[in-house]
Amino acid sequence: MIGFRILKRRRRVEAGLVERFRTLPVANISDSMSRMTAGGASLRPLHRGGVMAGPALTVKTRPGDNLMIHKALDLAVPGDVIVVDGGGDLTNSLIGELMIAHARTRGIAGIVLHGAVRDSAWIRENDLPIFAAGISHRGPYKDGPGEINVPIAIEGMVIEPGDLVVGDDDGVLCVPLDHAEAIYEAAHKKHAAEEMKMQAITEGRDDRSWIDATLARLGCAVEA
């Protein structure tokens, strides 16, 4: 039934590509996707630190209810990132330390939650990547409905089951599976160029002439 169903994930980004993406800053990946994809500024890292990368296991749940998140924890395989569309509602938390501890024993690579968490102090002391939109001490309900392994969207960012989800201190990004290889090549090239730029800055030989050239091209009046 639409709205209350569990589907099979038909495909999944390969582990080797996941590991290659893990070496790249999310900002460079985002730039290589024309800066047009983001899960919104509200999705912030709440854990102690560390990079997240893995294939998406998607959950769409009624705001304030975590029944399907519990089921997703049991369905996930090591390396998965559970991505939850909780409607952005922050009234009730959807996960806390007990569920996150279970996720860790399952080898889950991270959790992205468009909703609220609780036990935030415990989350900050641990390194399992947790990205969420807020914090609430109020607990969840467990009645459904909800869906697993369906396309979801968070602040306009569409996530298909099996897509690559990456996250670091700058936030979360979904890389569509069909374009992941090409996006990696572009992001890797950009990252290498930025490393060269940083070296030039450090050595005092960074070329800043592009600024005046751009101002001139745009017709900016500059008083002598």
CATH label of the domain that carries residue 48: 3.50.30.40
Express each pLDDT in 61-85 by its tens digit.
Answer: 999 999 999 999 999 999 999 999 9
Express each pLDDT in 155-211 by its tens digit.
Answer: 999 999 999 999 999 999 999 999 999 999 999 999 999 999 999 999 999 999 999
Residue 192's domain comprises 187-218
Please determine, for residue 26, whether its predicted confidence score (pLDDT) is greater than 90.
Answer: yes
The answer to whether 118 is annotated as binding is yes
Same domain? For 135 and 197 the reply is: no
- Alpha-carbon distance of 134 to 222, in angstroms, equals 46
Same domain? For 127 and 201 the reply is: no
Determine whether 87 is exposed, middle or buried from the number of CB atoms within 10 Å of its CB (0-12, 13-18, 19+): middle
CB 68 within 8 A of CB 61: yes
User: Strand, helix or coil at 197?
Assistant: helix
Q: Is 170 part of any domain?
A: yes
Give pTM, 2 decimals: 0.94
Q: What is the largest CA-CA distance in the chain?
A: 71
Tokens of 141: 């309900």
Backbone region of residue 92 per phi and psi (left: phi > 0; alpha: psi in -120 to 50; beta: other values): beta
The answer to whether 170 is annotated as binding is no
The answer to whether 119 is annotated as binding is yes
User: At 148, is the pLDDT very low, low, confident or very high (cuts 50, 70, 90)?
Assistant: very high
The answer to whether 75 is annotated as binding is no
Same domain? For 67 and 149 the reply is: yes
Same domain? For 171 and 214 the reply is: no
Residues 6 or more apart in contact with residue 144 via CB below 8 angstroms: 4, 61, 62, 65, 67, 68
Same domain? For 129 and 203 the reply is: no
Same domain? For 54 and 131 the reply is: yes
Q: Is 223 part of any domain?
A: no
Terminal-residue alpha carbon distance, the chain: 71
DSSP β-ladder status, 152-154 and 157-159: antiparallel
The answer to whether 31 is annotated as binding is no
Mean per-residue pLDDT of the chain: 97
Q: What share of the chain is helix, strand, coil (3-state, %, to 5)?
A: 30, 25, 40
- Alpha-carbon distance of 62 to 85, in angstroms, equals 9
The answer to whether 68 is annotated as binding is no
